[in-house]
Structure formats: C-alpha cells, structure tokens
Amino acid sequence: MVFDAGRDDLIVGVVGAGAMGQGIVQVSLQGGMAVVLIDVQPGAAAAGAAKVYERLDRSAERGRLEVDAVAAMKSKLTVAEGFDAFAPCHAVIEAVFEDLEVKHAVYGELEKHVSTECIIASNTSSLPISSLGRQCAHQTRFAGLHFFNPVPLMRLVEVIRGPSTEEWVIDGLTKLGERMGRTPVVVRDHPGFLVNTGGRAFTTEALHILHEGVAVQTQVDAVMRDCAHFRMGPFELMDLTGVDVNYPASLIMHQQNSYDPRIRTVPFHKSLYDAGRFGRKTGQGNYRYDQAGKVIDPPSPDFLTDAAPAERVFVAEATEIFSDLLAGAAMAETDDGASPIVAALYGEDCSTFAARTGVDYRRLVAIDPTGDLSKRATIMTPPGADPAARDAVAGRISANGRAVVAIKDSPGFIAQRMRAMIGNLGCEMAQIQLATPDDIDLAMRLGLNYPLGPLEIIDDLGPPLAYRIMATMQEITGDDRYRPSPWLRRRAQLGLGAKVPA
C-alpha cells in the first residue's frame, strides 16, 4: 500500500481537542491539509478550533502568515460530532487522555468508519505502541506519531514503529510529519521512546550529584550552563517541567527499562514529590519562586576567596588548560612540600588519585579539564584537605577571570560526569537500535534543546576519553549505573567515531 502525503486533497482526522490535539490541527492546516476534529466533551472541539483560529490570526497579525492563507486554512477545518465524520480521512491521529482503555475504545470506534488504507496513529507519550495497537483489527496500519508540546514550536516528531507496523505506514507518517513542517525521526517502540529515554541521564545524574553531597543545585546548574552550554541547568528544568510530571515519569521509565540503574533516580526526587514541591507551579521545588515565576534569592554557585592567588603549583597530572586557567603561577614539575598540587582528572576522584600516585592529598586540588572553561571552572578537593591550597588555586583561577565552583571529592566532577552519562546513554540507545545515530542526535537536539546530541558529546570528548571516564567511575563507585555501553567501548577500542554504525 502507498500513502500519498503530498496529495492536494489529503484529509487528516484528529481525535481529542486538548493541548496536543489543537497543536496537531494547527500544523496540519499550515501544511495545507483538510482536518476533521472531534472531542468526547460537548463543545470541546469547537473551543479547540477557536483557539487554533486565534493562533493563526495572531500569526497573520505578526506578518508570519498571509491573511488569505489563514482564511483558506480555517475553511479546511471541520468540527464534527461523531466518528463517522472520519470516514473520508487518509490518516487519523489520536490525542485523547493518556489511558489505555480510553484509547482502545477510540480505535474500536475509528475502525468501524475508516478504510483499511487509513493510517491510525497515537500521540501517546508513554504507552507502548504494542499494547495500544493490540486490539486493532488491522494492526499493520497502526503506529505512534509523538509530537512535543507546544506542537507549533517544537519541530521534532517521533514516528514510532510498533511490532506490526508496515513500512508504507512509517514512510507515510514520515512524509506527513514533514508536510506539517516537523522534523520526523523513526524510532523503535521502546518505553519512553527516544527523547524521553535519552533525557533521563540529564535529570537523574544531577540528582545523584546532589544526593551524594558533591554539589548543590545552583552549582550544578551554573556549570551545565557555562561549561556544557545547556540552555537550562537540570534543576531549573526539573522545576519548569514539574516534579509532579518528572518524578512519576522517572519511576515508570526505570521500571519499564528492566530497572536499568543508568536511569535510576534518588530518594530526594521522591521527597520533593511527596512534599508537593513541584517547582514553578507550586512556588517551590529545587528553588523558590515569586508570583511572576522568578527565582527568589538563589544561593550563589561561586566560590569566593580573599586568599592570595597561588604563585607556584606542582602539576601532578598535566593538561594544557593549566597554562590558561593558572596563568601567572609557576608550573613546577617537582613538589616543594608546600605549594598546592594540581591535577586534571578523568573519572577519578582526588582520593583515588592521591592513593595511586602518592601525592600529598592535603594540598591536592583537582580541576575538571573538560568542557568550556572560558567563564567558569570546577575544582575539587579530598576529605582532610588543607583549605589554604584550595583557596590559593581558586584565587589564581578567579584572578584569570573565571568563576570557580568548588565541590566535594567525587569521580567526574559535574560537567564531565554529566556529559559522559548523557553520551553513554545515547550510545546505548544506538546499541539497542532505538534509532540511527544521526537521528538520536537530531532528536535530542530538537526535542530537548541540547547543544549537542549525545553521540556528538562523545565525539567532542573523544570516545577513548569518554570510555575511560565511564569505566573509571564504574570502578570507583562499584555502581553499574556507570557501566560503559558496548557501543562506546567498541568505538573507543578501535579508534572510531561515536556515530560509526554497527
């Protein structure tokens, strides 16, 4: 069978006129398609249509759309009452409540009226396509079409292949998504699909850093913005999406991924949830917010010191970043028994490094050599360290124009550890063939606004280094959360790029 997404007379059905249904109607109209919309609640479809008209009118007022074009779009939307109105549709997209039984009932009704050549797609964000499609009489034309909120602004759409979905359906939905002005990626049916799975690393690793007492929210957020170029830090993002959404999602995803420790959250996440501290919407979450949604008195992430900048440091583990960050200090190759000892560490904590090399841990100050260090640098010291050494090194870095974040001893600092985790999970997604390596990167950039896709992050670190960070973290923590994906290990061993196919 063939689905001609380009035909002039293409008709798309949308079931459910809520937030997502409205967005899908809008992008379908903007793609020149006729649309039939229904909702089970009396008046909801008409109200949804009115909201779509309003948004189209606003686009015309702002000069983004022609007035005539908007009039033509509006004339192509039919608000209907019953499922019989879907009879002429070439594809129907279901966007009703996230409830398996409600959705099954919708497909049962739909199949009574549409032809067997009509594609039926669900916009579900979490229900498996396999279980949604299982009661359909014609499962081969059933698939997922997962849009992101708000639909008109989020370009990504995941086309999800169920166990019985035929190729013409995948191809048809891909072209349909393109005609709606979206960027489709084809994804295998998997708990959380692609973007919601990949996004777990960012939130849960930040929570682990907090849980272990390594750093606090403002420090992690500042480092992820300044050194790793994320638009928002993980705790800011958690408060924006809402802990009432991301905590249950974390639990479900962990359970559905066979309790893979890579996506495990921490008890503090539950505490926020139990306390009703959902984030911006409740005025309190990781941060406190005023009525306008502005953060109230966030603690500064910066480590401030009046100490004189170090004049001499013993470089125990070298990297070229020191010549920049520590400019002005003499870089000694011998230990005079008094100067601070600096080391660039990868996946190793200060304690392990001191035990391995025999340097004096009391004067040891490790610096994260990864990421963008033009604005901010992260330093850490072991238990029992002499604060004077830390202060002198921090003073020197500050004198060179960088803010300093000082954290407790831990493998992988903040940015290094978070980026390696995000990349490693991306490698695992490639390994289990959730999507192609290019699509994994594309989806994570478009769906979550990441500055780089996870495999691009691995290439940015270099696969051997990323592998070393993960393997060392696993060894030190004894936690399989940090086990390197075989995808990463093989590419590191062979000197290949992260995107080289299997």
Ligand X SMILES: NC(=O)c1ccc[n+]([C@@H]2O[C@H](COP(=O)([O-])OP(=O)(O)OC[C@H]3O[C@@H](n4cnc5c(N)ncnc54)[C@H](O)[C@@H]3O)[C@@H](O)[C@H]2O)c1
Distance (Å) of CA 224 to CA 45, 333, 451, 489:
42, 32, 11, 25
Give, as ranges, the residues between 103 and 122 that touch ligand X (CB under 6 A): 106
Residues 336-355 that bind ligand X (CB under 6 A): none
Which of 72-80, 91-99, 251-259, 358-366 is the region at the interface with ligand X (rule: CB under 6 A)?
Answer: 91-99
> Which helix (DSSP H) or strand (DSSP E) does residue 51 occupy?
helix 44-61
Smallest distance from the beta carbon of 339 to ligand X, in angstroms?
54
Residue 439 CB, shortest distance to ligand X, in Å, is 18
CB of 40 to ligand X, least distance (A): 4
Active site residue 158: yes
Q: Which is nearer to ligand X, 157 or 435 (CB)?
A: 157
Using CB under 6 A as the binding rule, whether residue 39 contacts ligand X is answered as yes
Question: Where would I find the beta strands (DSSP E) of 329-401?
Answer: 330-332, 341-344, 364-367, 376-381
Tokens 């949308």 identify what position? 14
Q: Per the structure block, which two tokens stand in for 135?
A: 């009661």
What SS3 class is residue 30? helix
- Asked if omega into 299 is within 30° of 0 (cis), the reply is no
Do 14 and 23 meet the contact criterion of CB atoms below 8 Å apart? Answer: no
Half-sphere exposure of residue 128: CA atoms within 13 angstroms, side-chain side:
12
From the list 1, 4, 19, 212, which residue makes contact with ligand X (rule: CB under 6 A)? 19
Cα–Cα dist 162/187, whole Å:
9
Sign for the pseudo-dihedral over CA of 433, 437, 443, 445:
positive
Q: Check binding of 416 to ligand X (CB under 6 A).
A: no
Residue 123 touching ligand X (CB under 6 A): yes
Q: Please give the residue whose beta carbon sits closest to ligand X in the complex.
A: 18
At closest approach, how far in Å is the CB of 244 from ligand X? Answer: 13
Counting every residue written for the chain, the total comes to 502
**Residue 403 corresponds to which tokens in the numbers above?**
């803010």
Is 125 part of the annotated catalytic residue set? yes
**Catalytic entry in 28, 59, 122, 125:** 125
For the chain, the helix, strand and coil percentages under 3-state DSSP, each to the nearest 5: 45, 15, 40
Q: Does 149 bind ligand X (CB under 6 A)?
A: yes
- Is 323 a residue that touches ligand X (CB under 6 A)? no
- Interface with ligand X by CB under 6 A: which range of 2-10, 12-20, 186-194, 472-480? 12-20
Which of 196, 250, 339, 398 is labelled catalytic?
196
Question: Which of the residues 218 through 257 are near ligand X (CB under 6 A)?
Answer: none
Among 132, 202, 209, which Cα is nearest to 164's? 132
Q: Is residue 146 among the annotated active site residues?
A: yes
Q: Is 96 in the site for ligand X (CB under 6 A)?
A: yes
Where on the chain is the footprint of ligand X (CB under 6 A)?
A: 15-21, 38-41, 44, 95-98, 102, 106, 123-125, 147-149
Active site residues: 125, 146, 158, 196
